[in-house]
A and B are shown apart, each in its own frame.
Chain A
Amino acid sequence: MRASDLVVPREAREPGVLGRVGASLTPRRAGTQGAVYLLFVLTLVAFSIWAPSFATTSSLSNIARDAAPTVVVAVGMTFVIIAAEIDLSVASTISLSGLVGAVLLGEPGVPWPLAVLAALAIGAGVGLINGLLVGYLGVPSFLITLGTLQAVGAIALMATATLSQPITSSGFLDVFGPGSFLSVPLTVWWALCVVLVGGYVLHATKFGRWVYAVGDSRNAARYAGISKPRVLIGVFVIAGVLAGLTGVLLAGRTTSGDPTAGTDMELTAIAAVILGGTDLFGGSGLIIGTVVGSLFLTAIQIGLILLGASGQLQTLVTGVIIVCVVTMNALAKGTRKA
């Protein structure tokens, strides 16, 4: 019995099996993602046929404009999900930072860039709290950010007694307002900047690589000397700052700060990230996928509006699509274990 202990080390046989199963998995995932993109294209074609006004430049421009804030918050969410965490608090951060920005813009002595910085700082602050608690204490991010979602949302509502705050600062509206630059909406320019910078940080820097490593295997990251708490603080601060920017963009576009502006946007952002092919369990995903996912969700909304669907029906269709895509991903994963 002891002789057999010697020849069969406990953990030694494992890798071979895992390795072989892993090999069968990679093309399968690519197939799933291909199916999502195909679904996206088919949806666009279907809307173009049923709602002739869908395939016009004005409605395509509407899709881009409406998708822009989703893209900004979802880029931050991409970092968090690739690190195998989740951030539900972004919705309240969006509301509070947009609101605080709007209030400060109404103060005579405050230059508008300072108001914007304050809004981003609120996002950074919420992200820092999330990151510290998840990174150092190891509390599940689902629970922590559920708590900060509630707390920050309550602060936003208490701050203005649910009234929205109009914005008149022309300097601010020139940069964040509903206008356009080179006939592209300002929010779309901002989203483009966020995508480029976010893509650079995630795909081309050491920090980005560590985000993947921490999300893929905590143990591998540990043996590589990567500080999990610091990486997690980084991703939550990024998500918080981008939520703050989303709040500013929404306030600018509607020329008012609204304490419920961000409601449900955490779900939209998560849906966009997952539709974009990022692994909900961390370790893989692309910024460009998130952009496609955001456009997909927005295109469905606008197409359904053009078809005259009610708000509930829009939500229903979106929900069904998310369930389908997540199920497809899970099925692809299930075959791994076979």
Chain B
Amino acid sequence: MIFEAADERQSEQPVGAAVSPTADPMPVLELRKVSKHFGGVAACDRVDLQVGAGEVVAIVGHNGAGKSTILRIVSGAQPPDEGQIFMSGQPVRLRSVRDARAHGIETVPQELALAPKLDVAANVFLGREEVARPRLFRFLARRGMEREARRLIGSLGVQIPDLRAKVGSLSGGQRQGVAIARALSWGRTVVVLDEPTAALGVRETEEVEKTVLHMKGLGLGILLVSHDLDQVFRVADRVYVLYHGRVVGSMRPSESTHEAVLALITGGGSAGASVVPVAPAAAETKAVAP
């Protein structure tokens, strides 16, 4: 479909050279042998993963496979026990969400992490509040932030009539819209989305996917967890399949089928599906108009 032209070129790249940090292009984000244990359970086990600039990478897997754990590691919310993380080839330590944000990583966690008693604009700008002129008194720029929040949420197509409404009073979809608006407006290198459209309607999902592709066009790396395989096949350049904390396969949707991915998700590779690692896509900065 829409990615075919690009995918043809990508598939000419050597397959399996993914782990080398000197691979061209240098992945904006790379995890090497990253593990995280909870008690005796390996929530993720020696995970290698790469996200190129301008690439949408999806992670799929059964409930409890460790998808959110990987995203929490990338977002700094839950530092790994072992393994290394690189950004554009440089080793980085993501010990806190602040660290990750300093590296331009922005996250929509599965539980959204919104402040329910604060209003929409306050949530969109949480931790990054703007100050009004004259700056001497450092008054919050309430109106300016509200205007900007309205614009951002409008661009996602999510309807929120009253931006002064407390986020706790919004519908699930509206709240997801607020969380996504926040991440998309602040992400500079990588945007991490954990089931971002689980509570959204068809139209809003379409807008979010459009925005994801727009961010991809701007050269950001997108790391997406989704249970919606159709969505994965619509937006992702590459898919990693997790099974009990381990990567059991990675493939390009354009070269694979729902059935193959499903078999890996449910069978963990024992179903005989071939497990071929694929290199991250070339930096595809050409905007893809959906």
Whether the pair A223, B113 counts as a contact (CB closer than 8 A) is yes
Looking at the complex, which one of A23, A205, A210, A216 makes contact with B169 (CB distance below 8 Å)?
Answer: A23
Whether the pair A6, B131 counts as a contact (CB closer than 8 A) is no
Interface string of A1-26 (1 = CB under 8 A from B): 01101110111111111111011011
Q: B97 interface residue, CB < 8 Å from A?
A: yes
Report chain B residues within 8 Å CB of A219. Answer: 109, 111, 113
Whether the pair B198, A9 counts as a contact (CB closer than 8 A) is yes
Whether the pair A206, B140 counts as a contact (CB closer than 8 A) is yes
Report chain A residues within 8 Å CB of B199. Answer: 12-13, 15-16
A123–B96 alpha-carbon span in the complex (Å): 32
A216–B115 alpha-carbon span in the complex (Å): 6
A200–B137 alpha-carbon span in the complex (Å): 9
Interface string of B67-93 (1 = CB under 8 A from A): 000000001010000000000000000
Looking at the complex, which one of B126, B139, B174 makes contact with A19 (CB distance below 8 Å)?
Answer: B174
Given contacts A2-B62, A15-B112, A217-B115, contact A26 B97 (CB under 8 A): no
Give chain A nearest CB distance to B161 CB in angstroms. Answer: 13
Whether the pair B77, A222 counts as a contact (CB closer than 8 A) is yes
Whether the pair B118, A20 counts as a contact (CB closer than 8 A) is no
Whether the pair B109, A223 counts as a contact (CB closer than 8 A) is yes
Chain B residue nearest in CB terms to A82? B117
Report chain A residues within 8 Å CB of B175. Answer: 15, 19
Whether the pair A222, B97 counts as a contact (CB closer than 8 A) is yes
Q: B107 interface residue, CB < 8 Å from A?
A: yes
Given contacts A206-B129, A217-B113, A279-B117, contact A223 B77 (CB under 8 A): yes
How many residues belonging to A are interface residues under a CB distance threshold of 8 Å?
43
Whether the pair B138, A206 counts as a contact (CB closer than 8 A) is yes
A2–B61 alpha-carbon span in the complex (Å): 10
Give chain B nearest CB distance to A22 CB in angstroms. Answer: 4
Chain A residue nearest in CB terms to B67? A9
Whether the pair B62, A26 counts as a contact (CB closer than 8 A) is no
Q: Which of B115, B129, B173 lies at the interface centre, i.e. has the most chain A CB atoms within 10 A of its CB?
A: B115
Give chain A nearest CB distance to B83 CB in angstroms. Answer: 22
**Which B89-143 residues have C-beta < 8 A from chain A?**
96-98, 101, 107, 109-118, 122-123, 126-129, 131, 137-140
Report chain B residues within 8 Å CB of A10. Answer: 63-64
Whether the pair B127, A226 counts as a contact (CB closer than 8 A) is yes
Give chain B nearest CB distance to A189 CB in angstroms. Answer: 22
Q: B168 interface residue, CB < 8 Å from A?
A: yes
Given contacts A16-B172, A18-B168, A25-B168, contact A212 B140 (CB under 8 A): no
Given contacts A19-B171, A213-B118, A225-B97, contact A220 B113 (CB under 8 A): yes
Q: A320 interface residue, CB < 8 Å from B?
A: no
Chain B residue nearest in CB terms to A20? B171
Q: A321 interface residue, CB < 8 Å from B?
A: no
A26–B116 alpha-carbon span in the complex (Å): 11
Q: B170 interface residue, CB < 8 Å from A?
A: yes
Report chain B residues within 8 Å CB of A144. Answer: none
Q: B188 interface residue, CB < 8 Å from A?
A: no
Q: B155 interface residue, CB < 8 Å from A?
A: no
Looking at the complex, which one of B77, B138, B168 makes contact with A22 (CB distance below 8 Å)?
Answer: B168
Q: A221 interface residue, CB < 8 Å from B?
A: yes
Give chain A nearest CB distance to B173 CB in angstroms. Answer: 8
Q: B266 interface residue, CB < 8 Å from A?
A: yes
Q: B176 interface residue, CB < 8 Å from A?
A: yes
Whether the pair A283, B117 counts as a contact (CB closer than 8 A) is yes
Report chain B residues within 8 Å CB of A11. Answer: 110-111, 195
* Chain A interface (Cβ < 8 Å from any Cβ of B): 2-3, 5-7, 9-20, 22-23, 25-26, 200, 204-206, 209-210, 212-213, 216-217, 219-227, 279, 283-284
**A-B residue pairs in contact (CB < 8 Å), sample of 11:** A16-B173, A16-B199, A19-B174, A22-B168, A204-B140, A206-B131, A213-B127, A217-B115, A222-B97, A223-B107, A225-B98
- If A6-B229, A283-B115 are given as contacts, then 11 extra A-B residue pairs at C-beta distance below 8 Å, sorted by A number, are A15-B112, A15-B172, A15-B175, A18-B172, A205-B138, A221-B126, A222-B77, A224-B126, A224-B128, A227-B98, A283-B116
